[in-house]
Structures are given as structure tokens and as C-alpha cells.
């Protein structure tokens, strides 16, 4: 019988912490959104010759494209896993869940979604470990 592969993903729109679950140890990796990378060292300039609404539209489109690029990167990272726990404090977890559910490659996978605040690395590992252990106990009952 094939072992179920599991991963927890704490995410917001700027970064994701991927916590690979194993019964006795968790591995964590952080992936940053292109939005975060473009913010670092960026200077905010105002060009009074441009209309504000055009600038806002361009910025909104750029942000939306960066979110899409970020989600695609995460999608590729999650392909090997059977069970995926998405958790975080904003609406990124639900947006990403909808993207995964629309992808045929994820239709046979189980996706869980939970709300959670910002957590330290040890708290992230504990959250994922406790979640999947509780799931195992529930399934064995």
C-alpha cells in the first residue's frame, strides 16, 4: 500500500511556508512571491503627468499577474502530495484552493483549508504535525 504524502502550506499573498509532514519530523521551505521580490529596494515615485486611475489599473494588473505567477510556482511544488493543508490569515488560502480545485492534476487530491495567524517556524511545524495526527486518529476511529 502506498504511503500518503502530506504537506501543509501557510500562505499569504507575499510568501508561503511549505511544511512537508513526516510522522517524526517536518521539513520547512519558504517561497516568496514575485510581488515581494519587486518590493525590495523599490522606490515609489509619483509622476504627476499620468492619471492616477491608469497607474492604479497598471498596479492592480501587475499585482494580479504576480499572484498568478506565485500560485503557479506553488502548484508545481505541491504536485507530488496526496493531502494538502492550506492555512493562513488572509484570503490567499481560499484563492489558492480554488485554483487547485480547477486543476485536473489536483482533483484526486484531498485539500484542507484552515484559518491561522502568523506563526513561528516551530509553531508552523507543530500545527501541521498536530493537524495530520488528529486526522489520522479521526480516521482510525
Instruction: Tell me 24's DSSP state.
Output: T
pLDDT digits (tens, 9 = 90+) for 68-85: 889 999 999 999 999 999
User: Thinking of the domain 6-140, which architecture would CATH place it in?
Assistant: 2-Layer Sandwich (3.30)
Domain regions of the chain by residue span: 6-140
pLDDT level of residue 117 (50, 70, 90 thresholds): very high
**Burial letters for 14-41: b for 16+ Cβ neighbours within 10 Å, e otherwise?**
bbbbbbbbeeeebeeeeeebbbeeeeee
Phi and psi (nearest 5°) for 110?
-100, 125
pLDDT digits (tens, 9 = 90+) for 37-63: 444 444 444 444 444 455 666 655 656
pLDDT of residue 95: 93
Q: How far apart are alpha carbons 115 and 64 in whole angstroms?
A: 22
Q: What angle do CA 35, 36, 37 make, to 5 degrees?
A: 90
pLDDT of residue 41: 46
pTM: 0.80
pLDDT of residue 33: 84
Q: How far is CA 27 from CA 9, 15, 17, 33, in A?
A: 12, 17, 10, 20
Better-scored residue on pLDDT, 128 or 141: 128
Amino acid at each position: 500500500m502506498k504511503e500518503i504524502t502530506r504537506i501543509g502550506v501557510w500562505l499569504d499573498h507575499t510568501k508561503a511556508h511549505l511544511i512537508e509532514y513526516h510522522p517524526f519530523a517536518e521539513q520547512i521551505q519558504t517561497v516568496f512571491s514575485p510581488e515581494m521580490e519587486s518590493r525590495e529596494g523599490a522606490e515609489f515615485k509619483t509622476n504627476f503627468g499620468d492619471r492616477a486611475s491608469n497607474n492604479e489599473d497598471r498596479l492592480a494588473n501587475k499585482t494580479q499577474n504576480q499572484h498568478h505567477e506565485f500560485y503557479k510556482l506553488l502548484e508545481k511544488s505541491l504536485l507530488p502530495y496526496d493531502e494538502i493543508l492550506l492555512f493562513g490569515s488572509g484570503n490567499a488560502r481560499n484563492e489558492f484552493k480554488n485554483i487547485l480545485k480547477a486543476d485536473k492534476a489536483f482533483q484526486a487530491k484531498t485539500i484542507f483549508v484552515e484559518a491561522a495567524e502568523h506563526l513561528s517556524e516551530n509553531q508552523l511545524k507543530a500545527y501541521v504535525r498536530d493537524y495530520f495526527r488528529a486526522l489520522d486518529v479521526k480516521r482510525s476511529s
